[in-house]
Amino acid sequence: MSDHVILTETVDRVGIIRLNRPKALNALNVEVITALVEAAETFQADPNIMAIVVTGNEKAFAAGADIKEMADKSFVEMHMADWSARWDRFTAIRLPIIAAVNGYALGGGCELAMMADIMVAGPKTQFGQPEINLGVIPGWGGSQRLTRAVGKAKAMDMVLTGRMMDGEEAERAGLVARLVEDDKVFDTAMEIAQTIAAKSRPVVMVAKEAVDAAFETTLSQGVLFERRTFHPLFALEDQKEGMDAFANKRKAQFKDC
Ligand code: HXC
């Protein structure tokens, strides 16, 4: 794994991926994306890891795809680069991914944050899809995920004008799950991850899958998916443990089975 453009670490049962190209405001080039996806897959393959936190630094979560790497590409080169295959691997990660977002989250950086399951940001965080200023449009899902998160009005405003939205507006609009002071963003993301880490791993995976299903299907199909995934949970020892712990007024000790 290329480990210098990202830094990885585990704390208890949480895998941390820190984007690490500070001089380029964490612009996402092929090397970064490859390392990021591999790191997430490596964490997922470790049964001890329960959640992943993706973060950048104080100035930038990520200021987008690497414009300098892209600038001279032809249509065929962009087409053959098959970005979606890389990002599909990232969005196929079944563990919860929490984005701790400070500074700029622009273009592909905003799109990466939106691929996460829970976003934590501060008032100074700046979200944007400024691709229109470069003569292109969002290319890693921004036009779709932003619209689903904040609705047509704000998505059109941002995608067509390229204006940025700060953390407070993003939280009001439904893009950000938790707005905290800028210097508390990472710690809050870790607290969320540690909270999830005390649950049952298979149940956490099913819960993520069930919420994601809401974006892929009709209400009746989604409710059916939920029911069909809810009932089998009664085959788990963790379900017996969770309900027994409640009845006996003790904290559940899940065994991930
Ligand atoms: C490559 C980038 C970069 C990017 C910043 N840098 N963003 N390099 N790709 N996306 C580099 C700068 O060139 C500069 O390098 C260094 O990082 C610091 O940036 P400055 O511009 O000097 O910083 P500042 O004046 O503070 O301005 C910050 C900024 C600005 C407002 C965030 O950097 C900016 O507008 N960046 C581009 C944002 C953007 O358009 N993102 C969308 C990209 S397209 P040097 O060497 O000069 O020090 C995209 C599409 C996704 O994401 C889908 C693709 C298929």
Asked if 131 is an active-site residue, the reply is yes
Q: Where are the beta strands (DSSP E) in 56-177?
A: 60-62, 97-101, 104-106, 118-121, 126-128, 165-166
CA 66 – ligand 1 centroid, Å:
7
pLDDT given at position 85: 85
| Alpha-helical regions (H) of 101-173 | 108-115, 142-161, 167-173
CA 149 – ligand 1 centroid, Å:
24
8 A C-beta contact, residue 115 and residue 98: no
- Does residue 59 have its Cβ closer than 6 Å to ligand 1? no
Query: Cα separation of 142 and 200, whole Å?
Result: 32
- Does residue 106 have its Cβ closer than 6 Å to ligand 1? yes
The residue contributing the CA closest to ligand 1 atom 41 is 64
Query: Cα separation of 70 and 150, whole Å?
Result: 28
Question: Choosing from 131, 141, 193, 207, which is the catalytic residue?
Answer: 131
- Does residue 132 have its Cβ closer than 6 Å to ligand 1? no
> What does pTM read for this prediction?
0.97
- Does residue 63 have its Cβ closer than 6 Å to ligand 1? yes
- Does residue 140 have its Cβ closer than 6 Å to ligand 1? yes
Question: Choosing from 35, 99, 111, 128, which is the catalytic residue?
Answer: 111
- Does residue 64 have its Cβ closer than 6 Å to ligand 1? yes
- Does residue 67 have its Cβ closer than 6 Å to ligand 1? yes
Among 190, 193, 191, residue whose Cα is nearest residue 204: 193
CA 132 – ligand 1 centroid, Å:
14
**Phi, psi values for residue 44, rounded to 5°:** -65, -35
* ipTM of this complex prediction, to 2 decimal places: 0.99
The residue contributing the CA closest to ligand 1 atom 14 is 24
- Does residue 61 have its Cβ closer than 6 Å to ligand 1? no
Q: What is the mean pLDDT of each run of 10 residues along the chain (257 residues)?
A: 81 98 97 97 98 98 97 93 88 98 98 98 98 98 98 98 98 98 98 98 98 97 98 98 98 96
CA 67 – ligand 1 centroid, Å:
7
Query: Cα separation of 55 and 237, whole Å?
Result: 34
Among 230, 198, 199, 197, residue whose Cα is nearest residue 213: 230
Asked if 141 is an active-site residue, the reply is no
Asked if 241 is an active-site residue, the reply is no
| Helix (H) or strand (E) run with residue 53 in it | strand 51-55
Asked if 38 is an active-site residue, the reply is no
In Å, the largest CA–CA distance within the chain is 65
Classify residue 41 by burial, with Cβ atoms within 10 Å: 0-12, 13-18, 19+: middle
CA 25 – ligand 1 centroid, Å:
7
Taking CA atoms, 128 is separated from 8, 108, 184, in Å, by 26, 9, 22
pLDDT given at position 156: 98
pLDDT given at position 180: 98
The residue contributing the CA closest to ligand 1 atom 12 is 24
The predicted-structure confidence for 97-140, as pLDDT tens digits, reads as follows 999 999 999 999 999 999 999 999 999 999 999 999 999 999 99
